[in-house]
Amino acid sequence: MYTGLYNRNRKGRKNSFVDPGELLEDGILELGLEERLGGDELLMEFVAELMNWNRVYNLTSVRKPADIVTRHILDSLSILEHLRGDRILDVGTGAGLPGIPLAIACPEREFVLLDSSSKKLRFVQQTLGILKLDNVTLENARVDEYQPENLFDTIVCRAFSDLPDFYRNTSRLCNSGGCILAMKGVYPMTEVESLDDKSVISDVVALKVPGLDAERHLVKMHPTVNDSDTGSPA
């Protein structure tokens, strides 16, 4: 169970304490997710597990709990309103981002977390057991080799690959009415220009991540008629 974490930053003779739990609460409120997540400790338990395992598995370069809350948890939750449908695929999930925060926020949806790294998935599997999440399954495979039984309503990736590679490898996995979401930092002009068919982009949305003084964008794409169908992937 989460028992509290904090950062200590020395400025002259004074100590400045940042309570990541309060930071998370404020961020959830700013994102308008208090009805879904208010008073829920699962996200902070996830932060605690991420910090504990990070010492051995080097899951993220972010070390401070408050930074993990802002740069990983709130960043992941910032795309929640853009999810479509009940079946979500997180490609290149790594340490479970954005899949685990989104699964905690949306227990009514089914999440599949895909990664080719068995080491990282061992952490995710252990964490799922601790958090008792029953709406998440794991797949240890490369995205270009992945063959699910059913297509997905939303496919998302966070810093996994560039737009052309991401679209090429995932459009076949998405329902015809679904969406493909790529989380990016600054506006990815070069990646957008390198797409063979720019019409697959539905929108590029500027995201506001509470407490983060950096640009974040979400590239929203859709599969073409030839990329997907209503049955199983080819």
Q: What is the pTM of this model?
A: 0.89
CA atoms within 13 A on the CB side of 140: 9
Q: Parse the chain into domains and list their residue ranges.
A: 32-221
Assigned CATH class of 32-221: alpha beta
What integer pLDDT is reported at residue 225 of this predicted model?
66
Task: Give per-residue pLDDT as tens, 179-190.
Answer: 999 999 999 999
What integer pLDDT is reported at residue 228 of this predicted model?
54
Bridge-based pairing of strands 14-18 and 7-11 is antiparallel
What integer pLDDT is reported at residue 37 of this predicted model?
94
Average pLDDT over residues 47-56: 85
Cα–Cα distance, 21 to 44 (Å, whole number):
7
Higher-pLDDT residue of 133, 11: 133
226: confidence class by pLDDT, cuts 50, 70, 90: low
Cα–Cα distance, 76 to 66 (Å, whole number):
15
Is residue 23 over pLDDT 50? yes
Nearest-CA neighbor of 95 among 72, 63, 112? Answer: 72
Task: Give per-residue pLDDT as tens, 75-114.
Answer: 999 999 999 999 999 999 999 999 999 999 999 999 999 9
Span of 1-5, 144-148, 192-196 with lowest mean pLDDT: 1-5
